[in-house]
Structure formats: structure tokens, C-alpha cells
Amino acid sequence: MTDQKGNSVPASSEPAERATSGSGRLQNVLHVENVTMQFGGVVAVNDLTLDIGQGEIVALIGPNGAGKTTAFNVITGVYQPTNGRIQFLGDTIIENHPKGKMKKNYLGDPAVIYPGSMVKTPDRITKLGIARTFQNIRLFKAMSVFENVLIATHMRSKADVFSATFGLNRNEELENRELAMELIGMVGLKDEADSPATSLPYGRQRRLEIARALATRPKLLLLDEPAAGMNPQETEDLADFIIRIKNDFNLTVFVIEHHMDLVMSISDRIYVLNFGKLIAQGTPEEIQKDQVVIDAYLGTGKTN
């Protein structure tokens, strides 16, 4: 198929076809298709295509500035992609094509130009079941540990503002409080529940962020450098923790990380990004041996 300008248009792929694509996984949770994110003249993410299946832990790695966090921001709706389509549980949640000035200045690989344009704000994407943590911790600074987690339950509360104000939603409120408290207990912050979130040490703030993300009851959890600033022992514990919450909450986890020990020990599959382009994908073993990946991280040693 082609559109008026002669660009090829992606055939409307059948959900059934996708469900069995890749390595024959049970169900495709996240499907990112030809996503390009261009800021002015800089292509931060270039023609990224990836799939994440139900129950997988998939890592996205790459040197600094490779566009990993930008990819996360596109998936969670913080940025609107310049071109591409993102599907979650078989439904298209984001789709865009170069518009206006960008039409002329578009520098991404012209694989396909998508017909539709569909924008969702981050809150709606969270509501669909994608939760995330942030690379630079973003806790609510003026609030206690407990309140930070409790906030995340607001989204799924049904009470309107009137009944919430006058306490007519007591049961729901109690359930939310209970859920928040259990999640805090789960990440081992029970004793600090009432202390200000910012009083926690760095590693614990990261854990709190994960608890907060879990309180939105996600199906897919995006972790942006969860081990940043952690010591080796904490990193090891984090690996166990991620696997455990994945199993306990029936989650799918997509993680950006620089700690290779962590990445290699927990991930089922790894995608490698460099200068916005996907340069490799595969199991940890495959990635470790991949010459392109090694070159990207260490340099090629050749002189031009």
C-alpha cells in the first residue's frame, strides 16, 4: 500500500498475527512500530521497532544519549512521536506522522509514514496500565512516603469530589490506604511510612517510586535506571525484587539500565540502542557476544 506521496503505508496487521509474532510468545503486551522522535534537527529515536510479550523482562540498553529515556517518554505519552505507532495489548494507543514543518524537515528513516494521528496524555496511558519510574527521581517532595503511594490510587478511585470531600467513600478510601500501606511494607519502607519522602536515602527513594508505580495497578512496568546510585548489594537485591514483583503482580517489565550485571541476570531479552537506532536485539548471551554492541560501547578502535 502507498499513500499519495508514494510512501509505503503499513498494512493493518491482524492482532492474531502479532500475537504469535516474535518468538511465539503468549501475548504481545507492548508493540512499538517504526517510532521516530525528532526534536528540531536531532533525531533522538530513529525508527525503533520492538515487541514485549506478556510476563517478560525486557531491557533497553545503550550508551549515554542513545535515546533510551526518550523512547520511554514516547511510550508513556510525555512526548508525541514524530512518526510511528505504539500498541498496547493489541490496541493502538499512540500513532503519529510528520506534520507541518516537520514534514519537510523529517530526518528519520522513511520506512513507513503512518496515516493516523492519535495522542494520549500520560495520565490516560497510565490508566490503560502502563506505569513508570523516572531516571531522576520524581517523588512528591512535600508528602510523606505513605501519601506518595496513596496518590497513585486516586486514579482508579470512583468517588466524585463531593463524596470524597464529605467522606462518603469511606470504604474505598480505606481500601486505598490499605493497598498503599501493603505496598510500602512490600518494599520494606513500613517504618518510614510517615516520614517525608525526600528524607529517605537515594536507594530507598527508588524503591518508593516502584511502590508508587505499582499502586496504579499496572500491567506493564517501565523502570528507568532503577539501579542508578545503588551499591552492588542493593543492586543484587533489586534484581530479586524486580523478578518477584513481576511474578507476584503478573507484570511485564521493561527496564532501562546501565548495570550490566543486573541487565544480564534478569532480562529475558535485550534491545540495544545507539544514536537512536536499534543496533541489536536478543537474549543476554547473544548480546554479550554481539560485535556491534561491543563496538558501540567500547569504540571500534579503527581510525578513519
Partner 1 sequence: MRILKNMIFSSDAKDLGGNVPGGAFSSAGSSAGAGTGAAGTGTSAAGAGTGAGNKPAGGYVPGSDGHAYRKKKDPHTRRNSLLTIIAAAFVICLMAFYQKNAYDHSYAISIIERSAVYVVAAAAMNLVTGFTGLFSLGAAGFMAIGAYTTAVLTIPTEVRANVYYMNGIAPWLENLHMPVAAAMILGGLISAGFAALIGIPVLRLKSDYLAIATLGFSEIIRTILAAPMMDTVTNGSYGLNNIPGFTNIFQPLIIAAICVAAIMLLLHSSYGRAFKAVRDDEVAAEAMGINLFRTKELSFVISSFFMGIAGGMLACFMRSIDTRTFQITMTYNVLLIVVLGGIGSITGSIIGAFLINGGQEWLRFLDEPLTVGGVTIPLFRPGFRMVIYSILLMVVVLFWRRGIMGDKEFSWNHLLGMFHRKKKTEGGAES
Site for partner 1 in 109-128 (CB under 8 A): 121-124, 126-127
User: Distance (Å, rounded) from C-alpha 101 to C-alpha 124?
Assistant: 28
Count Cβ atoms within 10 A of the Cβ of residue 197 and give its class: 0-12 exposed, 13-18 middle, 19 or more buried. buried
Query: Which residues have C-beta within 8 Å of that of residue 299, sequence separation ≥ 6?
Result: none
User: Distance (Å, rounded) from C-alpha 256 to C-alpha 227?
Assistant: 9
Q: Does 243 bind partner 1 (CB under 8 A)?
A: yes
Q: Does 252 bind partner 1 (CB under 8 A)?
A: no
Query: Which residues have C-beta within 8 Å of that of residue 246, sequence separation ≥ 6?
Result: 55, 57, 221, 252, 253
Least Å from the CB of residue 157 to partner 1: 5
Nearer to partner 1, 36 or 169 (CB): 169
Least Å from the CB of residue 171 to partner 1: 10
Nearer to partner 1, 198 or 300 (CB): 198
Binding-site member from 87, 205, 216, 274 for partner 1 (CB under 8 A): 216
Selected range binding partner 1 among 41-49, 88-96, 134-142, 296-304, rule: CB under 8 A: 134-142
Q: Which amino acid is at 34?
A: N
List phi, psi (to 5°) of 184.
Answer: -65, -40
Residues touching partner 1: how many (CB under 8 A)?
75
Residue list 139-178, contact with partner 1 (CB under 8 A): 139-143, 147, 150-157, 159, 161, 164-167, 173-178
Contact 253, 246 (CB under 8 A): yes
Q: Does 239 bind partner 1 (CB under 8 A)?
A: yes
Most distant pair of Cα atoms in the chain: their distance: 72
Least Å from the CB of residue 284 to partner 1: 12
